[in-house]
Every structure is written in structure tokens, then in C-alpha cells.
Amino acid sequence: MNETSNEAKAPSQRTVIRRYSWLAKYDRDTINSILDTALVCQIAYVVDGQPFVTPTNFWRIDNYVHWHGSAASRMLRAQEKGIPVCFSVTHMDGIVIARSAFNHNINFRSVMAFGEAQVLGEQEKRAALKGFVDKLMLGLWEHARQPTEKEWSATKVIRLALDEVSAKVRTGPPIDDDEDYALDSWAGVIPLRTITEEVQPDPRLRAGIETPAFVTNFRWKG
């Protein structure tokens, strides 16, 4: 699916963006770029009539987003039964200051997907978790001690197909009412971004262990 944002269409009725529809993006390139520069998502689901929203780490492999957790987790035990879930991710890119209080806004990029969660088998789980660690930082998986069988058995990985998915993106300056452009109020955008700061070694790090180059050179792409 390589449609441009002007050509792509909503894949289903429940993914159609109706509120501020001009912000809608349905092309896979936009959706993937938002997902691949995020680490935390929110998973909404219902268990015994009670709604929950769980923030968790996630990663994308091809047409699926994945998340993991303890095998004892209520969230994963519920989701592995194939219950409907709603997945969402949001980047906040700027505070938009308008001339009218009603027109203040936020520049953002978001993705929402619907579907049924699927639990991965043992071999798929192991490959997917390696992909997650490598997404976080290339080289990190091989650097660390490998999981024990006990650790593997205590972990589950869930995935959701990106079949019913859409994005919403707002960029640019404020949009004011025509008559408000004559006001003396300042208007503009305060950009926001995630930055990578100086590495902080573990206080219990043994003397003589140097910081690996892949850590020193790491810059988050979000």
C-alpha cells in the first residue's frame, strides 16, 4: 500500500476521520513514519464491561504493531482472547498561539487503529522482541545478556494488524477568523521536540567499563 496522502482512502467506516477531516491522512508512508518515531502507545479495551486504557511500549514490524508484557498481565490475558482493541499514538510538535482564545491549537501527529489482538507463538515472540530492542537502539540486543528460558516463558507478545488504521496531522501557523488578523495580539507557534541528552552511566557500573559507541552516538529519531 503506497498511496500518497491525497490518493489514499480510509480503509473502513470506523477509520474515517470526520472531525477536522482535512487533517486526515490514510497513506501508509505517513502512518508508518508516525509509528516508527514513537515508543509509547495507548491500548484501549474492555474487560467484563469495564473500559481500560493501558500505556505501553510498542514497535512496528511490516503491517503489524506489537507490544509485550508479563504473561500474568490482565491486559495481555484479556487481549490474547481476540477481544477488540483500539491502538493510538500521538506526537506533540508545537503549541499554536492564536489571536483568539478559541483558536489556540496544538500541532501534532497521531495514529489510531482498530482490530483484534493476536498473541504470538514462541518463535515469533522471540524474533519480535529482538526487533523491539533493535528498534530502541541498534546493537542493544547483542550487547546485553540474552534472556533465560524462565524470562522467555514469563513474557508474551501481542500484535495488531494495521488493516483499519488512519492518521491525523496538524502543522503550520494558527488559523484565525479574518477580522482577528487586525488585532494587536501576538500569534505563532512554539515548536516542541524530543531531544537526546548526555548519557548517564549507572552509578553501580564497574570501573573500567567504557560506554559503547552505539550508546554514545545514539540520537532518538522522534
| Pairing label, strands 155-161, 118-119 | antiparallel
For 22-36, 53-67, 124-138, which range has the lowest pLDDT when averaged over its residues?
124-138
SS3 111: strand
Banded pLDDT at 221 (limits 50, 70, 90): confident
Q: Is the pLDDT of residue 205 over 50?
A: yes
Integer Cα distance of 103 and 215 in angstroms: 42
Chain CA centroid to CA 66, Å: 10
Domain architecture of the chain: domains with CATH: 13-176 (2.30.110.10)
Q: What is the pLDDT of residues 24-35, one digit of tens each?
A: 999 999 999 999
CB neighbour list of residue 158: distance below 8 Å, 6 or more residues apart: 66, 67, 68, 69, 76, 79, 80, 117, 118, 119, 120
Whether the pTM exceeds 0.75: the reply is yes
Banded pLDDT at 172 (limits 50, 70, 90): very high
Q: What is the pLDDT of residue 3?
A: 38
* Of 47, 62, 114, nearest in space to 87 by CA: 114
